[in-house]
């Protein structure tokens, strides 16, 4: 009997105009989107390679330790999944509006938008009259009079609507992936294909949520016209209002200080105030050294060449000048440590408050199944907030490695030439450690999406239970 109910629902959907419309829409949109995003991904790969070449050329010609800090800062290469899902890593910066306003005003589609927005709306269109339409036609009363249980009817309607919607979705995605395979520049790993499988599983659950929601709403109405209006209202609430409102609610419940204000304070601490303190501490230390080593009298007025000549001729002067130089650097180091500590406290406090606000915003937004699916797609594809945190972890580890390299290199340069301006003199950094980005493993990605996937499953079960209770109590007349 269950098979008969599903077959009936599938037949009704497959022969309907709405199925044809959704099928044509998806079969056109998904492959075109894949082609566009794959082309953008290839262009991003070329741009990334070009930037790396330019950086290497700069290092070969102008490698001053005082200049290369921002030049060699770690950057994330384009990830292969961006040929299907744009995510946070591919967002268009607002500064590019003057160059090309269309991507800012009309962002490109991707699989996340297609699945989260179009499929949810299509699921409600497929099921808004699942029960109310049967009531209007009189077929619901006929089915119940023939001994078909209400649970079988309800499950068949949800499963039939979901299966009918999965057909165009899977066909269109298969066509898109075939096109992707023909692009030699887009190289997916086994982990990416495994992540795509979990994405499809999440899509099935998501479609089930909205099909169950459509059947539930339909069972609460006696007319299809009222049911479709309620479905559209609920869709707007879940798909648009809640995800967009959650950051504002979080900012009210967990306020954070202004980043601009904190940034200005940090700049003052590490720039103006640091310089004043550095000059003061350095002068104090140099004065103490000059008092201890009379041989250094007048050394501050000597040129670099004169100091170098005296170091070569006078061993006592060389020893005293080394102390003078080290104490001067120690004063600046102490100033950097003091002011850096103050700035670090401000950054950490801001980071804690922003992290708390972000967690609250995410929790509030997860009331919406659209937000849950978006988090699931983004984190599985390495294009979401989880990937940004992963990238920061890798970048911080590289920063520590580079800091050790820079300190060792500077110390070696000073041993070779005590008077060298190590910060502004070109140096060979061919042996510098290079940043290497590694994507998260599939296991880590799956662990990261367990929460949104679990929430979607709970929603699906809860909505089906509500639909069952409502359908059991409905009057078939």
CA atoms of 133 and 284, how far apart (whole Å): 89
Angstrom CA distances, 244 to 112, 241, 367, stand at 16, 5, 12
> CA dist 368 to 114, 362, 445, Å?
16, 10, 21
At 104-125, the pLDDT tens digits run 444 568 999 999 999 999 999 9
Q: What is the average pLDDT value for the chain, to the nearest integer?
A: 86
The pLDDT assigned to 431 comes to: 85
Q: What is the pLDDT of residue 104?
A: 44
Residue 75's pLDDT is 87
Note the pTM of the prediction, 2 decimals. Answer: 0.81
* The residue to which tokens 């502004």 are assigned: 424
Question: How does residue 98 score in pLDDT terms, banded at 50, 70 and 90?
Answer: very low
Alpha-carbon distance of 424 to 413, in angstroms, equals 12
pLDDT of residue 449: 93
pLDDT at position 456 is 95
Give the model's pLDDT for residue 476: 62
Q: What pLDDT, in 10s, does the model give residues 335-377?
A: 999 999 999 999 999 989 988 998 899 999 999 999 999 999 9
**pLDDT-based confidence at residue 81 (cuts at 50, 70, 90):** very high
DSSP secondary structure letters along 186-199: ----HHHHHHHHHH
Q: Which residues contact 451 (CB under 8 A, 6 or more apart)?
A: 366
1-58 pLDDT, tens digit per residue, is 677 778 888 888 888 899 999 999 999 999 999 999 999 999 999 999 998 888 888 8
CA separation (Å) from 389 to 3, 138, 243, 379, 445?
47, 56, 21, 11, 13
pLDDT tens per residue across span 193-210: 999 999 999 999 999 999
Radius of gyration of the chain (CA): 32
**pLDDT value for 91:** 42
Question: Which CA distances in Å does 183 have to 42, 84, 170, 176, 314?
Answer: 9, 13, 20, 11, 69
Torsion angles phi and psi, residue 25, rounded to 5: -60, -50
Answer with the residue of higher pLDDT: 399 or 297.
Answer: 399
């Amino acid at each position: 009997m269950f098979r008969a109910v599903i077959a009936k629902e599938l037949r009704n959907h497959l022969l309907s105009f709405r199925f044809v419309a959704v099928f044509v829409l998806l079969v056109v949109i998904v492959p075109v989107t894949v082609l566009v995003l794959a082309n953008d991904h290839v262009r991003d790969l070329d741009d990334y390679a070009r930037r790396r070449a330019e950086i290497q050329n700069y290092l070969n010609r102008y490698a001053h330790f005082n200049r290369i800090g921002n030049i060699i800062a770690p950057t994330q290469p384009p990830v292969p999944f961006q040929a299907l899902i744009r995510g946070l890593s591919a967002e268009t910066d607002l500064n590019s509006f003057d160059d090309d306003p269309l991507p800012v005003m009309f962002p490109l589609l991707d699989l996340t938008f297609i699945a989260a927005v179009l499929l949810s709306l299509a699921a409600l269109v497929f099921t808004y009259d699942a029960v109310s339409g049967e009531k209007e036609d009189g077929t619901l009363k006929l089915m119940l009079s023939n001994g078909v249980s209400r649970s079988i009817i309800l499950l068949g309607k949800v499963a039939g609507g979901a299966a009918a919607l999965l057909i165009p979705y899977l066909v269109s995605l298969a066509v898109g992936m075939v096109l992707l395979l023909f692009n030699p520049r887009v190289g997916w790993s086994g982990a990416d294909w495994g992540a795509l499988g979990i994405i499809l599983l999440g899509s099935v659950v998501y479609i089930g949520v909205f099909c169950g929601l459509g059947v539930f709403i339909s069972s609460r109405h006696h007319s299809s016209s009222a049911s479709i209006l309620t479905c559209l209202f609920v869709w707007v609430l879940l798909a648009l209002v809640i995800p967009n409102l959650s950051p504002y609610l979080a900012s009210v419940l967990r306020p954070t200080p202004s980043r601009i204000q904190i940034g200005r304070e940090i700049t003052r601490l590490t720039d103006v105030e640091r310089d004043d303190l550095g000059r003061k501490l350095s002068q104090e230390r140099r004065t103490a050294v000059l008092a201890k080593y009379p041989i250094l009298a007048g050394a501050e007025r000597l040129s670099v060449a004169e100091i170098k000549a005296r170091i070569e001729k006078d061993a006592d002067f060389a020893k005293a000048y080394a102390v003078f130089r080290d104490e001067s650097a120690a004063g600046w180091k102490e100033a950097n440590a003091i002011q850096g500590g103050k700035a670090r406290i401000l950054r950490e406090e801001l980071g804690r408050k922003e992290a708390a606000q972000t967690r609250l915003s995410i929790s509030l937004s997860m009331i919406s199944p659209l937000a849950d699916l978006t988090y699931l797609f983004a984190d599985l594809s390495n294009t979401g907030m989880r990937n940004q945190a992963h990238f920061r972890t890798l970048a911080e580890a590289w920063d520590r490695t580079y800091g050790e390299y820079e300190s060792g290199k500077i110390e070696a340069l000073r041993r070779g030439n005590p008077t060298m301006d190590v910060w502004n003199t070109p140096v060979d950094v061919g042996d510098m450690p290079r940043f290497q980005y590694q994507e998260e493993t599939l296991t880590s990605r799956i662990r990261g999406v367990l929460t949104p996937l679990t929430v979607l499953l709970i929603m699906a079960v809860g909505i089906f239970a509500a639909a069952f209770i409502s359908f059991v109590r409905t009057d078939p007349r």
